[in-house]
Chains A and B, each alone.
Chain A
Amino acid sequence: MDGHAHSLTAHAGEHHEIEIPFTVHSRPDTGLYNGKLGIWLFLASEVMLFGALFSTLVLLRTSAPTWPHGWQVLNVWLAMLNTFVLIGSSVTVILSWAHLRLGNLKKAKLYLFLTLLCGFGFLIIKSIEYGTKFSHHLYPSTHNFYATYYVMTGLHGLHVIGGMVVFAYLLLTADKWYAAKRDQFTNRVEVTGLYWHFVDLVWIFLFPILYLL
């Protein structure tokens, strides 16, 4: 924690760059550091984005004369494996955050790396699934079932990639950030973790709805 002594007397002009406010300490009126409120607002908009797709799926499925069962046409076991990979990565990212709070940067970096690895694992398994479908000439245009399957898992996959980019950045800059602004870095890992748990949460619904029904 940095001293508060300067905070009330500092003038913006003394800084070479504008300091981002409330990256560590809670803002008095919200009780939150800004990053946390920011990520939750973003996640709220993400719920709307995926919500529109779930809504579309309900509309298409309930008005379709026939609709295949996911377990008839998709690989349930690969998707189940991917569920474990993603849940596991949720645990590793939260362990990374926990170890930052314990002051153990080395372990925190190890868990960040494992999270990144899980992300790769998820994408590899997903691409095996896609590859099999493509080789059987099953495309989004084949049937509304495949249209929704590809769009929803595709958008979810993009979110996995997005999270991995941030994890890679955090991992590469961890030493510098941790040395200069430990608390801010810890919060960044927490906030990225919140996003990552959301991606996990979306998959928790996608898996049964697409594969098991």
Chain B
Amino acid sequence: MTESAHHHAAEGAPEQQAGGAPHEPLSELEHPTHHHDHDPGHDNSPEAVHKEIKRYMMVFGALAVLTVITVAIAQFHLPTWQAVTLALVVATVKASLVAAFFMHLISERKLIYAVLIMTVFFFGMMIWGPVHHHSNAEKSWPGYDLSANKPAATATTEPAAGSGH
């Protein structure tokens, strides 16, 4: 990779960009940003880092507890609708903890939020598709019967019992 580059100095040098010539605007901008060359979210002072480490351990504890909770809830064998809702709520809380603290999204640059908003939108579309299809299938096509293929499927519907094969 870059191991044999002898000059460190040019890390932020605009000249390194393709083309090279129009570096005036960027070099103008470089000075004002100099004071936060390192991510402003990351204070590298030992006190700050130790405080962060403490916070990471607390998040770990919370994730462990939530994992136990979600497994405990599953032991009640609730009706599908409630089970799905509860499991997804707990998973979303856990995912938010990971994203906010481990991936430090709690204080991140605008551009990353912009990328993620788009991502969430398109992800939502992908999940919305089949859910919408399911809730409208019988309305849209009166003849559409979700259980129509039941007989054909019975042979493989109980994989647990099928362990003999």
Contacts and interface: CB of A to CB of B under 8 A. Distances in A.
Interface stretch (A41-49, A116-124, A154-162): A41-49
Nearest to B110: A31
Interface in B94-110: 94-95, 98-99, 102-103, 109-110
Which secondary structure dominates chain B's binding surface?
helix
B22 interface: no
Given A17-B2, A143-B159, A54 B112 contact: no
Contacts of A198: 103
A212 B87 contact: yes
Interface residues of A, number: 95
A10 B156 contact: no
Return the 4 tightest CB-CB contacts between A and B, nearest first.
Answer: A6-B9, A2-B8, A59-B130, A28-B29
Given A58-B127, A83-B67, A101-B44, 19 more contacts: A4-B9, A6-B10, A26-B33, A28-B30, A48-B126, A55-B130, A59-B130, A59-B133, A65-B157, A68-B158, A90-B60, A98-B56, A101-B49, A102-B46, A197-B98, A197-B102, A200-B102, A201-B95, A208-B91
What interface size band does chain B fall in?
35 or more
12 contacts: A7-B12, A19-B10, A19-B16, A21-B13, A22-B11, A24-B11, A32-B112, A66-B158, A95-B56, A101-B49, A200-B98, A207-B67
Contact of A73 (B103, B150, B159): B159
A198 B102 CA distance: 10
Contacts of A65: 146-147, 149-150, 153, 157
B6 interface: yes
Given A4-B34, A48-B123, A58-B127, A17 B4 contact: yes
Interface of B: 2-17, 20, 26-27, 29-30, 32-34, 36-39, 42, 44, 46, 49, 52-53, 56-57, 59-60, 63-64, 67, 70-71, 73-74, 77, 80, 83-84, 87-88, 90-91, 94-95, 98-99, 102-103, 109-112, 115-116, 118-119, 122-123, 126-127, 129-131, 133-134, 137, 146-147, 149-150, 153, 156-160, 162-163, 165
